Amino acid sequence: MSQDSAPLKQTALNAIHRAQGAKMVDFGGWDMPVQYSGLVEEHHAVRRAVGLFDVSHMGEIDIRGPQALHLVEHISSNWAQKLNIGQIHYSGLLYETGGFVDDILVHKVADDHFFICINAGNQEKDFAHILAHNTFDATVELSSERYTQIAIQGPRALETLQKLTKTRLAEIKYYWFVDGEVTGTPARIARTGYTGEDGFEIYFAPSESARIWRALMVAGEEFGVKPAGLGARNTLRLEAKMALYGHEIDASISPLEADLAWMVKFDKPDFVGRAALASQQDQLTRRLVGFEMTGRGIGRDGYEVQIGGAKAGWVTSGSPSPTLSAAGTPKNIGLCYLPVQNAAVGTEFEILVRNQPVSAVVVPTPFYKRSKG
């Protein structure tokens, strides 16, 4: 991942991460915390109480203008016209081939304003892609530098954040947002996340980053809040079976293959990638499935998947599951691509773990689903 000579980009919270003892890594050209106290401990803090993530490396694009909706409908596979003001949906930014440019969160701010959250490493590419398709009366702004983004995640996330805002958080539904304030600083408060837990993602001016991060640490102290790194973020999202660009999805993978058909709305007006997906619909050859290791080993990203000794697919993500292992029996889970005829739950197959075939079985997903109170 390291890019020759180009210095790593830093978020406004970089010095705080270092002061909190974080181990830093190069993540898509960003100097980011991979863990603080320990991955498993941070993972459990999010499942059981509350964790804070600096996700300011994520990018933002603002689309405005009389035909903002037309542009969003054209470049995005989900149906933006169905969004209410203040509502959010997950969608695909696709190539004509049906493969992913990126996976995105589309926020409807106003009839003529959409706010799109995109992946860190894809910002320039996404921006260029959208610009290239902008034949509408709309402006496209890459506005990432105007935002710090912090994710507050876990069953105590609401109580933690509520101490710092007058915005009534309980009234924000899942996948909705409010433009409110946090400690008096204007903030976009979205009830979204990448952990499988309840929680919020807040967007605000970078100048206020350190103050708000510290305030959140204090507000969450009574619940046992922990800063959490990219390591825990990865195991949390994997248990919830949320896709990670560059792993489950990329330019060569379509939403239909990635088990994300629900984000493709064939009934809406034409969009980039629609024709390719329509023809792929009835002849899918491979599909993303969840697996659990039945042999001793962990099937990791890039490992070959075999059926009857022949190559049949590849692992996109794999890890011990901290949540499923908490009862005492270690469980190793993952996601992989398999031929559609071998993708049924219960199918047994092998993963080459350092050249040794190790048994695995297709299991239902998500691996973890929170109980809604």
Element holding 23 (H helix, E strand)? strand 23-27
Stretch that binds another protein, among 38-46, 58-66, 115-123, 180-188 (CB under 8 A): 38-46
CB of 107 to another protein, least distance (A): 32
Report how far residue 219's alpha carbon sits from residue 115's, in angstroms, rounded to the nearest whole number. Answer: 28
CB of 133 to another protein, least distance (A): 38
CA dihedral (49, 55, 58, 64) in degrees, to 10, reads 70
Q: Is residue 34 part of the contact set for another protein (CB under 8 A)? A: yes
CB of 20 to another protein, least distance (A): 15
Nearest residue (CB) to another protein, 82 versus 296: 296
Helix (H, G, I), strand (E, B) or coil at 75: helix
CB of 330 to another protein, least distance (A): 6
Nearest residue (CB) to another protein, 23 versus 64: 23
**Backbone phi, psi, residue 214, to 5°:** -65, -40
Q: Which strands form 199-204's sheet, in the order they lie side by side?
A: 177-182, 185-190, 199-204, 148-153, 51-54, 226-227
Report how far residue 73's alpha carbon sits from residue 87's, in angstroms, rounded to the nearest whole number. Answer: 15
Q: Is residue 235 part of the contact set for another protein (CB under 8 A)? A: yes
Helix 230-239 / helix 39-48 crossing angle, nearest 10 deg: 50
Nearest residue (CB) to another protein, 273 versus 297: 297
What are the start-end ranges of the E strands in 301-366? 304-307, 310-320, 332-339, 348-353, 356-363
For residues 268 to 297, the per-residue mask of contacts with another protein, x marking binding by CB under 8 A and - elsewhere, is ----------------------------xx
Binding residue for another protein, selected from 28, 38, 339, 366, defined by CB under 8 A = 38
Binding residue for another protein, selected from 9, 28, 29, 40, defined by CB under 8 A = 40
Nearest residue (CB) to another protein, 125 versus 300: 300
CB of 45 to another protein, least distance (A): 14
Residues between 307 and 336 that touch another protein (CB under 8 A): 319-320, 322, 330, 332
Q: 241 and 291 in contact (C-beta within 8 Å)? A: no
Element holding 293 (H helix, E strand)? strand 286-293
CA 249, 254, 257, 263 torsion: positive or negative? positive
- Within the chain, residue ranges assigned H as helices are 14-19, 39-48, 68-75, 123-132, 157-162, 209-219, 230-239, 274-280, 322-325
Q: 366 and 305 in contact (C-beta within 8 Å)? A: no
Nearest residue (CB) to another protein, 40 versus 363: 40
Nearest residue (CB) to another protein, 209 versus 235: 235
Residues between 180 and 199 that touch another protein (CB under 8 A): none
Q: 91 and 273 in contact (C-beta within 8 Å)? A: no
Binding residue for another protein, selected from 11, 14, 35, 144, defined by CB under 8 A = 35
CB of 61 to another protein, least distance (A): 31
CA dihedral (136, 142, 143, 144) in degrees, to 10, reads 150
Binding residue for another protein, selected from 4, 171, 262, 354, defined by CB under 8 A = 354
Helix 123-132 / helix 68-75 crossing angle, nearest 10 deg: 110
Binding-residue total with another protein (CB under 8 A): 18
CB of 333 to another protein, least distance (A): 12
CB of 24 to another protein, least distance (A): 12
Nearest residue (CB) to another protein, 44 versus 287: 44
Q: Is residue 246 part of the contact set for another protein (CB under 8 A)? A: no
Binding residue for another protein, selected from 92, 196, 227, 231, defined by CB under 8 A = 231
Nearest residue (CB) to another protein, 190 versus 351: 351
Residues that bind another protein (CB under 8 A): 23, 34-35, 38-40, 231, 235, 296-298, 300, 319-320, 322, 330, 332, 354
